[in-house]
Structure formats: structure tokens, C-alpha cells
Amino acid sequence: MIDLHTHTFFSDGELVPAELIRRASVAGYTALAITDHADKSNTKWLLDNIVDIVDEFGAANNIQVLAGVELTHVPPQSIADVTQLARDHGAELILVHGESIVDPVMPGTNMAAIKAKVDILAHPGLITAEEVQLAAELGVYLEITTRKGNSLTNGHVVKLAQEYGAKLVINNDAHAPTDILPPELVHKIALGAGMSEEQFIQAQKNSAELVAKAKGR
């Protein structure tokens, strides 16, 4: 199991990176991305605190760890610039907090993130068919989430992704120890969102593909 969307106390999570990584490893995860909430004001600071420790902490816990960010409530017109800022300061994975039913994300965020070719558009519950089609064309992965609230629109994302061939990943969006779900529960949530067994397996392969791509940059 791979989780490419987690938070530490560097944003609104409860755990220091070392404990987050340890708990994920013990829960059976083989790879993890630390993706604290970021905008232009704190992107460099976050990455300065994460980039140099992920390999060390990952090796100690027998788990691959990526340094990333989740760009959150960044104005759509600034997403491409902040994405580049994050890349320039060592981000191995970039997520954007998609337009969802839970948070008042600015309209246009989904499209701007896709055009900026971020790695993952996180819990994009209000995504349109046009946006999904473009995500498929540009290789932007769409997230199925286990997190309460945002998970209510998983079925919509799965349906459009299937129709237009967009790639899916499954993440916990973990903020607390109880959010690091057992792999068997993640599996059930994915199937409940309308994924087939084959699609669930493919989503895990997609996550592994992103890890390999990130480490190869």
C-alpha cells in the first residue's frame, strides 16, 4: 500500500514527520509522501524542513518517503508559479487541493492545476468532464480519498476517470494517527466508490509509478 497525501504538524497534522513515517510503516505501507499544506508564503520553508530527512527516516523504517507539498487555496493564476517554486526547492511530488464539496476552493483551481501539470489533483470532487479529459491527456493523476467529507464524491471522480481514461490514485489525506487506515479498509473504500478489483490494483500501480518517477527526477 502506498499513500501519497499526508500531513504533519508543519501544517495541520498532529504528528512529527518521524512518527508519521513510523506509523505508516507499521501499518504496512511501502511508500509515503509528506505533503503539508503550502502556498507561496511557506513552500520553501516546508521543503527546507522535509527534503533532507525523508531518505534517512525512510531507510530507518524500511519505507520510501517523498518530500512534497499540497498547494492549498492558491489563486488559480498563481498555481503554475508556485508549482515551479516547489520544484525548484526540492519537491518530489506536488499535489493541489482540488475543488471539493468540503472546502471553499477558488473556481478554476482544478483546471489551473491540470494545466500546470502537477502530479496529483487531490480529492477533486467538483471536477468536470472537460477537466478529467485534460488530466488524462496531460498525465495528471486524480485522487480517490478515504478522508471523511471529501470521500463522498469519490464515485463521481471514479466514473469520469473511467470514461475519459484518467489515472487514479488512492490516498488517506492523513492528518492524525487514526487517518492512517489499514490497507484492507482502503481496499473496501475503493470498491465502495465503484472501482473494480482490477482498477484498485491499477491505482496502486499508478502510485508506484509516481514514486519511481519522483525518485528518478
Question: Phi, psi at residue 180, to the nearest 5°?
Answer: -85, 85
The helix, strand and coil proportions of the chain, stated in percent and rounded to the nearest 5, come to: 45, 20, 35
Inter-helix orientation angle 183-192/197-216, to 10°: 120
Please write the tens of the pLDDT for every residue from 3-47. Answer: 999 999 999 999 999 999 999 999 999 999 999 999 999 999 999
pLDDT tens track for 189-209? 999 999 999 999 999 999 999
Residue 157 identity: V
Specify burial of residue 106 (Cβ count, 10 A radius: 0-12, 13-18, 19+).
middle
Predicted confidence (pLDDT) at residue 57 exceeds the cutoff of 90: yes
Mean pLDDT of 99-121: 98
Q: How much is the pLDDT for 216?
A: 82
Q: Say if CB 90 and CB 79 are below 8 A apart.
A: no
Tens-digit pLDDT profile for residues 136-174: 999 999 999 999 999 999 999 999 999 999 999 999 999
Architecture of the 2-216 domain: Alpha-Beta Barrel (3.20)
Residue 179 has a pLDDT of 97
> What are the C-alpha distances in Å from 145 to residues 47, 72, 115, 166?
24, 16, 22, 16
The confidence score (pLDDT) of residue 215 equals: 84
As a whole number, mean pLDDT of residues 44-65 equals 97
pLDDT category of residue 217 using cuts at 50, 70 and 90? low
Please say if the pLDDT value at position 112 is more than 80. Answer: yes
53 has pLDDT over 80: yes
* pLDDT computed for residue 62 by the predictor: 97
Domain ranges across the chain? 2-216
